[in-house]
Structure 1
Amino acid sequence: MKRSGGNWGDPVSAVNREVLVHAIERAIELGKGRGFKQSVELIVVLKDVDIKSPQLKIREAVPLPRGRGKDLRVCVVGDADIAESAKEAGAYKVILSTELRDMSKKQARKVVSVCDWILVKPELMGIVGKVLGPALGPRGKIPVPIPSGSAIKALVTRYKNTVLARIKDQPVIMVAIGTEDMKAEDLAENAVTILSSIESKLPARSANIGKVIVKTTMGMPIEVPIGR
């Protein structure tokens, strides 16, 4: 990852490395003692953007360079030819095409509720849309087609540490950057990776970033000064 002057990550990133690390450390300190391992969240508030514009339909799958802090549950939909490889790769659940076609609406909702990511053999995307689509949409989840020739093990490993940065109905993006037991420097690197991905989709890049906030699941929000 590139480093330049006081900024960290992609040159378009609006935050200063040291300031970001300090904000994350403070957020973790203020959020301690909740009785469970909390996620650390990044909240990006946009400004001067029209979220109804087709160009601003941000929906980015972002692999975290320092990991998520816990494995996300990756499910794989395919035929017998990839089922064994998916199981060996540690997929949370493997769904065969025959199972998918016989799946009830209740079963589909259960699958969608337990899977963070659903990787799909391309020729099965149509049936996945029909069977799982009605449950995926309301939860903001998307099926991911498996690229031709991809190594299933590497793909499953990647998505165990991949988060979805997306705009819903407000100019705000909220996404987990890890867990409170991770190093602040590693969380900051994850945050900058997400910020760089978001900024690359904005018409005025970092100038469209109004606020950057970090917090733990149950903790106080800490605003990170924009370093422009």
Structure 2
Amino acid sequence: MTQVIEEAVKKVKEESKPRNFTQSIDVVITINDLDINKPENRLDEEVLLPNGRGKDIKIAVIAEGELAYQAEQAGADIVINKEKLEEYGKNRPEAKKLANSYDFFVAQTDLMPTVGRFLGPVLGPRKKMPKPIPASANPEVILGRLRSTIKIRVKDQPIIQSIVGSENMTEAEVAENIDAIMDVLDRKLEKGSKQIKSMYLKTTMGPVTRVI
């Protein structure tokens, strides 16, 4: 299967016209015999890609004191303190803009109740509620892991679509990332990866290539 995926990745890259930016490579997986009316079948999983996403993501950290300082040093895209958090709570349009602008949120554990109060209404529906971390945590490790993490979801249709790399990654690296998703599906689906009906790959602006 890995070889088949690698060949599909190669084809996708060859058929994609050069652009003035690095294109992502996405996978689209359709699942058979999945009753999405049952809540337990609505997958919502995080997958750590062994070779990273190949594209930058934006991470917001909600913290104060030493943790806020370390988060800034670790390259967080924005650090939000308690005062700023309350400001967002009073300005719903800005809160929505914040929610849409960042891929992941991380919050100091003792600030989580405040986060829930002021940002919960906008982050919750977007499945972006922060991961709580203690004030003594090392944000560099946490942010590094998040930069290689994707979310796979099945909600309204039995379809998963997610980034699995970028066109400047090798075929083997992208295939290994897809294998990580397959491992999750093997664990979460009743019949494992045998339940996959089809799999396609595509670059951001390129044609679609069928894998299976």
Indicate whether the TM-score tops 0.5: yes
Give, in whole Å, the separation in 2 of the partners of 1:110 and 1:176: 23
Matches within 5 A, 1:1-228: 16-103=1-88, 104-146=91-133, 150-225=137-212
Give, in whole Å, the separation in 2 of the partners of 1:198 and 1:218: 27
Change (3 A) 1:153 1:139: same
- Indicate the larger mover: 48-57 or 184-193: 48-57
User: 4+ residue stretches of structure 1 with deviation over 6 A?
Assistant: none
RMSD: 1.8
Deviation per residue, 1:128-173 (Å, 9 max, x gap): 2332233334545342222685421100111112111111210001
Q: Percent of aligned positions with the same letter in both sequences? A: 35
- SS of 2:198's equivalent? strand
- SS of 1:176's equivalent? strand
Consecutive unaligned residues in structure 1, runs of 5 or more? 1-15
Contact kept? 1:71, 1:161, Cα under 8 Å: no
TM-score by length of 2: 0.91
Aligned length: 210
Contact kept? 2:164, 2:174, Cα under 8 Å: yes
Deviation per residue, 1:146-201 (Å, 9 max, x gap): 26854211001111121111112100010001111111110111111112112311
Give, in whole Å, the separation in 1 of the partners of 2:165 and 2:156: 24
TM-score by length of 1: 0.85
